[in-house]
Amino acid sequence: MSNHKHSAPLSDMVLRVKALESLLVEKGLVDPAAVDALVEAYETKIGPRNGAKVVARAWTDPAFKARLLKDGTAAIAELGFTGLQGEDILVVENTPNLHNLVVCTLCSCYPWSVLGLPPTWYKSPPYRARAVRDPRGVLREFGVELGADVEVRVWDSTAELRYIVLPERPAGSEGLSEDTLAALVTRDAMIGVAKVPTPRERVA
């Protein structure tokens, strides 16, 4: 924290939030139970496990995958994942020759309905600044080394359109069930800063 005029100690933020909540509740504008429910939903229900199910379905059901790449929002809704900041989602597919990376250079747009709320690094200046200028360097920082023959595409999210990466299905995952596959899929792989580990790597 700096000593800029608005940089307040944490206790002050706690007080400011309490004041806002209590005022909005008193005026009948906000129901505290609804606030509790929202916090709980984003802490426990709306997270990257949703996206992992979408990916696993795409890996095991070619017709679903085709629908997913054609109209991400509609196909994702088939699994019941709808809602805020998931209104328009484009699914971009990684292949052996193409790697996709998602960023929001302007702020923090992210497909909440399938990935939940973004991690702090996704919202941080270093990632936002560098993902578009040096995506290979960023990927290296995350431990992903791409060959020179692999094209990298960077998708800059907007309030209107959010992206999720359909990662490559890892080697050695043939014959695994959809649920087992979903357990392999990480949040970072769906942002495009990681590859999905093979079942062997996952165990190691």
Show Cβ contacts of residue 194 under 8 Å, excluding neighbours closer than 6 positions.
142, 143, 144, 186, 188
Asked whether position 9 contacts another protein by CB under 8 A, the answer is no
Tokens of 169: 């299905």
Site string for another protein, 31-60 (x = CB under 8 A): x--xxx-xx--xx---x-------------
Q: Which of 67, 123, 136, 153 binds another protein (CB under 8 A)?
A: 123
For another protein, the closer CB: 15 or 66: 15
Cβ contact 166:158 at 8 Å: no
Residue 32 CA to residue 84 CA, distance in Å, equals: 19
Part of the chain binding another protein (CB under 8 A), chosen from 70-78, 94-102, 105-113, 177-185: 105-113
Residue 36: CB atoms within 10 Å: 10
Instruction: Give, as ranges, the residues between 156 and 185 that touch another protein (CB under 8 A).
Output: 156, 159
Active site residue 107: yes
One residue of 62, 96, 125, 175 binding another protein per CB under 8 A: 125
CA distance 62 to 73: 17
145 forms part of the interface with another protein (CB under 8 A): no
At 59, which helix (H) or strand (E)?
A: helix 48-60
Q: Report the residue from 67, 90, 105, 144 that binds another protein according to the rule CB under 8 A.
A: 105
Contacting positions for another protein (CB under 8 A): 1-2, 4, 6-8, 10, 13-24, 27, 29-31, 34-36, 38-39, 42-43, 47, 84, 103, 105-108, 116-117, 119-121, 123-133, 138, 141-142, 156, 159
Task: List, by residue number, the catalytic residues.
Answer: 104, 107-109
